[in-house]
Structure 1
Amino acid sequence: MMRTRPLKVALLGCGVVGSEVTRIMTTHADDLAARIGAPVELAGIAVRRPGRVRAGVPEELITTDATALVERGDIDVIIEVIGGIEPARTLITKAFENGASVVSANKALLADDGAALHAAAEKYGADLYYEAAVAGAIPLVRPLRESLAGDKVNRVLGIVNGTTNFILDKMDSSGAGYSEALDEATALGYAEADPTADVEGFDAAAKAAILAGIAFHTRVRLDDVYREGMTEVTAADFASAKQMGCTIKLLAICERAADGQSVTARVHPAMIPLSHPLASVREAYNAVFVEAEAAGQLMFYGPGAGGSPTASAVLGDLVAVCRNKLAESTGPGESAYTRLPVSPMGEVVTRYHISLDVADKPGVLAQVATVFAAHGVSIDTVRQTGKDGEASLVVVTHRAPDAALTATVEALRKLDTVRGVASIMRVEGE
């Protein structure tokens, strides 16, 4: 039987995602009620600019007083899609204090202060759901938090930013340079006017922190995630990658150490073999590859951003939270029982692709090989081309600690015969 009293929902933020959430809640109200077991009523929408035209959004629900909205006391669920740290953190905490559960799409806040938010939710007997914070419409948080709760996840490897994947895909497929590909992404609306959060890896790093925390049952904050952007990737890098049978992606990589005593989380561009499933992820799509002990290899793929995909994830969480409200229960909270430390990037074992500009004369290769040997780094392959006294030397290493590889590169820069280090890129996914 369906309960007649509606569950009241308040929305914080009504931009692209918030407007789409409002539209779906309105047009699919009967379906949502049937799936939940009670009708849901949009009771208020907090915005910063009330005069903005919002097609399909009831004007009578608009307010600029977000604090008053979350403190009403009759709100069952708060949906937070304003982003950023403040005032989102304060508003979510007040929502818990006033008996409301929260659905959030705020990756930055969750990566920065997720532990405190989970603690507040637990204290007040509320839910905190955030499927939309990572990879848009792709069901990923709930499978990691619930479906794989009985398994041991060892690795999460993924493309979690659509803007950077679009740019790198265009560079790969058309031979365009970074600036040209970024201009196209901006013109099509994939990149913001200020793309820093995307292209410098901040967005992907926040998502990596969330995924690592859930996957490994430990606390991982944004500051724990090693981050490199992809603004220095060139057409020459893609040419080298193709010669190796690879392409280049900006990857979020979360791993459990071989001895199980620590974890790592990192974001950086990397070459991956064309045979790897992530190599075929095109345009602005996202994909995440999960390796678990019992389940084996799993891949989650789909649109990772945009109003409709993100709203889909928000509404999925809303249904789950509302069902919990009716059952007078809560869903899974934070699981951080392992308390595993996050190792620094220097301890990560990986491979390097290094392109050097060197003097084209006898003995150069021997000098370079000596530097690698001195730092305990084994060379896998070497490719050399030369003309008019100049040469290009491409070295691909075997797996070694990142600190040793970094030290090797710094030592190479000091050789008189090395005119410059043209590019350095990790090789993953093999």
Structure 2
Amino acid sequence: MAVNVETLEKLERKITLTLPATVIQSEVDSRLKRLARTVKMDGFRPGKVPMSVVAQRYGYSVHYEVMNDKVGEAFAAAANEAKLRVAGQPRITEKEEAPEGELAFDAVFEVFPEVKMGDLAGVEVEKLSAEVTDAAIDKTVEILRKQRRTFAQRPADAGAQEGDRVTVDFEGKIDGEPFQGGKAEDFQFLVGEGQMLKEFEGAVRGMKTGESKTFPLAFPADYHGKDVAGKQADFMVTVKKIEAANLPEVNEALAKSLGIADGTVEALRADIRKNLEREVKFRLLSKNKQAAMDALVSKAELDLPKSSIQSEVDRMIEGARADLKQRGIKDADKVPVPDDLFRPQAERRVRLGLVVAELVRTNNLQAKPEQIKQHVEELAASYEKPADVVRWYYSDNRRLAEVEAIVIENNVTEFVLSKGKVVDKAVSFDELMGQQDQ
């Protein structure tokens, strides 16, 4: 039977469904009979409740369930018959007028759009490259040394220097009044590590144990404590203890403490290089993937299903509330989160998802089992027992689905880079990792 599909606007469609009233009533009767066999009601033995009583108590809810089921089945059959790719859930309303002996419903819904892909040949895609240098390895070695440093108390007449750990009491006042978070006792920080504002560090640098000092401090306008941001405070600080840092030597003992089997410095540096190269590879892949996806979206024309965008907005709001809850925010599930906050990002995600799906379908870019296996093994390589991690991924279809999605994105990235006009750009290790030399 041909299904009449009416176009309302862009992606919105409407079809009318009709169901014989006898089909609905027959299913309602059937379900009520099954219910009567097991239902328990005061004054009746199990299975002996009269049908009239069962119908009076449960008739409405059973009728509602049957209507939902049958209309849902009719909609699925009609959509399938018309070869429609339905986006989201249909809005179904019963019509007042219907042929005799039948019930009629209007189903309004959206369909997935046709994606028109432009030619990728002319689009510029920036492809980053980076190398792990000896300087990057040196910096990592220094971080590892700092993580294992020990501290020894300095003599009383020694001033606080760069890298020292100082223990202080302090109190700050604004216009002569104390403020929240402006006072602490036995507070420790490392000089020159950026834990405190520069004026505070500058005041403490050179001070000796037992010494006190008063100094002005201007809080930056973008300071995280909004009550004091942009304001001028006066601080009094007393140094109670100064400890010098002792960093371990770069030798076999350090290598062994870091789990290097043969305990040589060369093997330590080789292990660091291997780990950094793995991180660089994943970081480059992520950056280049972003550039390829941006290029892809720029060459695609399509309308976006409102229902898909709303679903994505709802999902993102749910994620935001879960994040707030994890941070200990009370009643996080009731915090009002406006849709508009996430709508632009949701629109981009939906657009990208539809474009990627179309490219994968038309160019056979699905993830192959060997690609998934290779990616899992790469992810597992940085762990102590890679085989256990591989088994962990393969023991859960959801985890494998996440890996499959990443592999598909990688395939799409390679496809775009193979078709587009690639602009190679070498970046430093620090640029790529988002670090700045201190």
Is TM more than 0.5 here? no
Alignment TM-score, normalising by the size of structure 2: 0.19
Alignment TM-score, normalising by the size of structure 1: 0.19
Question: Relative to total residues, which structure has the larger helix share, 1 or 2?
Answer: 2
